[in-house]
Chain A
Amino acid sequence: MGDALLIVLLGLPMTLLVTVLSFTIGVIGGIPLMLGLRSRTRWVRLTCRFAVDLIRGVPPIVWLFLLYFGVSFGAIRLDSLNAAVWGLGIISSAYLAEIYRGAFATLPSGQAEASAALGLGGTVTLTRILAPQALRTALPSIATYLLSLLKDSSIASTIGVADMVFNATMFARQNPATAGIVPFFIAAAVYLVISIPVAVTARRLDTRLRRTA
């Protein structure tokens, strides 16, 4: 039990690393994709729509396999961590772009109109008037996505990233007689211990933002 806990916890930094890095890629990468989805130019909009649907339409594990086993630049191949981070990061970009877009769509049209009527330009309207309001609307969905990404990061274990699930699997295989499914219960507990505070923080933040709005 103690050994299993130790081994699983040794995978925690890797779980967090994969989650945080791919989330960061998603938060940033979602912005241009969202702008593309809102573009007035038809082909830009359609291209981004196609990209988002393509990325979301294929299971993450398949993307990771494709990136890990399929992508090579000359002799260089993506190592498992890079493949996992970029794969999950690109998937996150697509999901977050859709979340951002949905949040912008809920804003009353009067906000953009009032900004335009004042003579504020498109960039200022987007970054200072619309985006802060959209972000508030999007926050609960973003937090929900982060929680599902934390759990999906375990898919990285399938291409050899030594995260919690990877370590739990190894431990179970190395101690077939004694370990049983205990390492996985431990992993489950650790996932819960991380996700519950994230969920609580997100809810608190949400109610606080709602009060000031």
Chain B
Amino acid sequence: MNVPLITEATELAIAGVQISNLSKRFGDHLVLDDISMNVKPGSVTALIGPSGSGKSTLLRCVNLLETPDGGSITVGSQTIRAGDRVKDRELLTLRRQVGMVFQSFNLFPHFTVLRNVAFPQEKILGRSREEAEARARVLLERVGLADKADQHPGKCSGGQQQRIAIVRALALNPRVMLFDEPTSALDPEVGVEVLTVMRELADAGMTMIVVTHEMQFARDVSDHLVVMADGHIIEEGDPAEIMADPREERTRRFLNAVLER
């Protein structure tokens, strides 16, 4: 596992993300209230905050797993405005630019590890089975999982499954990667394997938005820290500065709570 290998294996074509005046409600509850955020191409943004603050919902709005009720989202050159009817083709175009990694991995249990990584390439990039599988093997090799290729995901540990999920997304050459608490379901020592891969990806220049409780990762790897509470961004800026000296009392309380765990 080293940096140049992942770079050369994932033809990086990065994009930025602009979120403008985004709002989202679930029933009467306003989950996101007028959120604006700018993610520069090639930067890593860490989203932190207490549960229920709306950070996962915000992330899921970027690839329209949640439909925003107001505002707009721009990924690269594609802008989606809330309220506009999104055509299927636009939706797929957006999602094909944006890779996503979930807390619960969500590998396809009926496919082998190799097919998990190869199948989407065949359907989305139109690669032949041989080509897709060859590439899948290269990528699995790079995250140290070549020997798992022919097994089913159920036979892999959580840390392995999450690395496979990352590789599955990377195989499609995304321009932006979203991570929704990628290590929250993992034991700390296993989480490290996943964080290492994410760190390489960040070093390689991928645009990343990461919802996380890993404060060390947020401080060391991210370029920008966004603190959310109750559907608002309460503070954002340089990660080290905010962690050393938060302006907001709520940020301070949250950081203390997380660091004391």
Contacts and interface: CB of A to CB of B under 8 A. Distances in A.
B95 A136 contact: no
Given A108-B104, A110-B104, A133-B109, A117 B172 contact: no
Given A132-B110, A133-B109, A213-B152, A118 B102 contact: no
A118 B152 contact: no
Contacts of B100: 114, 117-118
Interface in A115-133: 115-122, 124, 128-129, 132-133
A132 B124 CA distance: 20
A178 interface: no
Given A113-B102, A113-B106, A132-B110, A118 B124 contact: yes
Contacts, number: 63
A111 B165 CA distance: 12
A120 B120 contact: yes
Contact of B119 (A122, A128, A136, A212): A128
Nearest to B155: A212
A132 B110 CA distance: 7
Contact of B120 (A111, A118, A122, A212): A118
B106 A212 contact: no
Given A114-B106, A117-B63, A133-B110, A212 B95 contact: no
Contacts of B88: 121-122
Nearest to A117: B100
Contacts of A116: 65, 95
Contacts of B106: 108, 110-111, 113-114
B154 interface: yes
B166 interface: no
Interface residues of A, number: 21
B124 A213 contact: no
Interface residues of B, number: 26
Contact of A119 (B95, B108, B119, B154): B95
Contacts of A129: 108
B110 A136 contact: yes
Q: Which of B88, B106, B120 has the most CB of A within 10 A?
A: B106
Interface in A77-136: 108, 110-111, 113-122, 124, 128-129, 132-133, 136
Contacts of A118: 95, 99-100, 120, 124, 168-169, 172
Given A213-B110, A213-B154, A119 B124 contact: yes
Contacts of B1: none
B123 interface: yes
Contact of A114 (B96, B102, B172): B102
Given A110-B102, A114-B102, A212-B152, A120 B123 contact: yes
B92 interface: yes
Interface in B146-174: 152, 154, 165, 168-169, 172
Interface string A177-213: 0000000000000000000000000000000000011
A6 B120 CA distance: 57
Contacts of A133: 108-110
Nearest to B125: A119
Given A132-B110, A213-B109, A113 B65 contact: yes
Interface string B103-124: 0101111100000000110011
Contacts of A110: 102, 104, 106
Nearest to B107: A114
25 contacts: A110-B106, A114-B107, A114-B108, A115-B108, A116-B65, A116-B95, A117-B63, A117-B95, A117-B98, A117-B99, A117-B100, A117-B102, A118-B95, A118-B99, A118-B120, A118-B124, A118-B172, A119-B92, A119-B95, A120-B124, A121-B92, A124-B123, A212-B152, A213-B152, A213-B154
Interface of A: 108, 110-111, 113-122, 124, 128-129, 132-133, 136, 212-213
Interface of B: 63, 65, 88, 92, 95-96, 98-100, 102, 104, 106-110, 119-120, 123-124, 152, 154, 165, 168-169, 172
Query: Which 5 A-B pairs have CB atoms at the shortest separation, nearest pair first?
Result: A114-B106, A119-B96, A110-B106, A119-B95, A117-B100
Given A121-B92, A136-B110, 9 more contacts: A108-B104, A114-B108, A114-B165, A118-B99, A119-B120, A120-B120, A133-B108, A212-B152, A213-B152
